[in-house]
A = this chain, B = another copy of it.
């Protein structure tokens, strides 16, 4: 199994040339110190942590997994030491505000740090990711006492956090949550219920675990408007900050999963011994709203996971293909050449690389939009950037995760029979990637979000903003003197036209043919993913062609980037046209035919 090497050259290129980090630190006062030089220093340190501390534990963690004994979960060997190093480096709090002990860096830098950690060891990195989500929730809705008691120790990593949403009958549909919270005379509450799929619900890395739990108050209205958020610590915290008694919450079992074996996925029981002490966060019945505040960053993170696993799979496949000798060279006839001489192996490696690079660029650009949405001096620009970022989030999440599954599968394929043997490690990336199209909202839910919440809410205004930006890139490419860029521009224009046709169709059909639009939702999202990847690869190609004029430039890197962009245009962008054809086929006739078939099935 090959080592992981953080792709610093590409990360740097994407941050500086595409996400505009220099401009961002220049314009946004709160990120004035987050210059490209600062980013470089952070990335180098983060790479060392990911490569040297996290990556070596990844395979062993997959094999050993976590164990549960007497309601306590033990993590694999080496996990505790790595967690200590995480806390010392502050890698879990890179984006958190400095006033609470974080590093206050923009998301445009944070994405790269997260990508490295996910690539090195996804199972491990979910622990700080969940804590980060819990901290952001507390920042958004906790009162000053709770903040004082919990925040600093969660930001430092001394305590970890979890999110408790899912119940056996309530997965994607949180309206069905049944866990209840009863008021207690002291102002706290007592919680009763079972939660499932709780990532790091228990573990041995911290002295305390802070559970954020969705539950219903006795007088809560039914459905999603009756859900409140509670803080339930594993161990109660005394007035002086010391740890008190164990709370009435425990892990009753661990799931046996397809992947991320070393991330403990817990079934949590609340209140079996009389009631778990919980503290209401924010206002009653607003729990779901608070959850949604974290949604953008959480979904962006899952998209990054697909990108990270794709990158790692690509690195390993490339290394294997450069060493494994098998078969004759079709052109020279030489025997037993390295398999990266074979055209189809090159095709697979290029298909892996160009998609990872495209999705990375889209994700980092979206992260910079979130930074501008938060901190741009101009309110109108903040609003525009937020609208763009919110439009992009489902594209980043679904695009990165679906790409991760495809690319890790190609990684197995490059290995041939060895890819099916677990010792090689290629299979783990594929198994680990498989969860990313499911958690934090399935691909189908991302597609519904894109259409129902993002596209239709402003009748396509943000989509038109996006189209305009992509159109500008098309114009610059087709006006280039370079034939490769012209061709890229032609391909991108075809994809943009396909997107315009599909978007017009969706906007027109949403009223009369909602079932058709929702059937077309995932193909529409897939179209957007291919197109947005082409948009950023087009921008990358333009930047690379310009930089090639600089005699100091890294010509090998820039030519690779041009090759990636052109390959993407020829091998990925054509999918956009197929998707548009499928979207426009979801007319009322086709939906009737499908529904009719369902009724037949029901008859059986």
Contact = CB atoms under 8 A, between A and B. Distances in A.
A100 interface: no
**Interface SS of chain A:** helix
A515 interface: yes
A564 B601 CA distance: 13
Interface centre among A596, A597, A600 (most CB of B within 10 A): A597
Nearest to A563: B597
B581 A484 contact: no
A559 B600 contact: yes
Given A256-B421, A331-B515, 12 more contacts: A172-B326, A172-B327, A258-B422, A330-B518, A346-B519, A346-B595, A346-B598, A350-B597, A413-B444, A570-B586, A574-B577, A575-B575
A468 interface: no
Contact of A598 (B340, B418, B431, B442): B340
Contact of A604 (B170, B326, B556, B571): B556
A155 B523 CA distance: 49
20 contacts: A166-B417, A170-B326, A171-B417, A256-B422, A257-B421, A340-B598, A342-B444, A343-B518, A350-B594, A416-B442, A420-B438, A523-B571, A559-B596, A564-B597, A567-B590, A570-B590, A574-B578, A574-B579, A574-B581, A574-B585
A438 B422 contact: no
Contacts of A567: 590, 593-594
A173 interface: yes
Interface in A553-586: 555-556, 559-560, 562-564, 566-567, 570-571, 574-575, 577-579, 581-582, 585-586
Interface string A397-435: 000000001000100110011111111000100110011
Interface in A456-503: 483-484
B420 A435 contact: yes
Given A417-B166, A420-B435, A562-B593, A444 B344 contact: yes
Nearest to A448: B344
A210 interface: no
Q: How many copies does the complex hold?
A: 2
A487 B249 CA distance: 59
A173 B519 contact: no
A591 B255 CA distance: 47
B326 A171 contact: yes
A71 interface: no
A257 B405 contact: no
A176 interface: yes
A310 to B, nearest CB: 16
A556 B603 contact: yes
A259 interface: yes
A345 B171 CA distance: 15
Contacts of A422: 256-258
Interface string A144-178: 00000000000000000000001001111101100
A420 B258 contact: yes
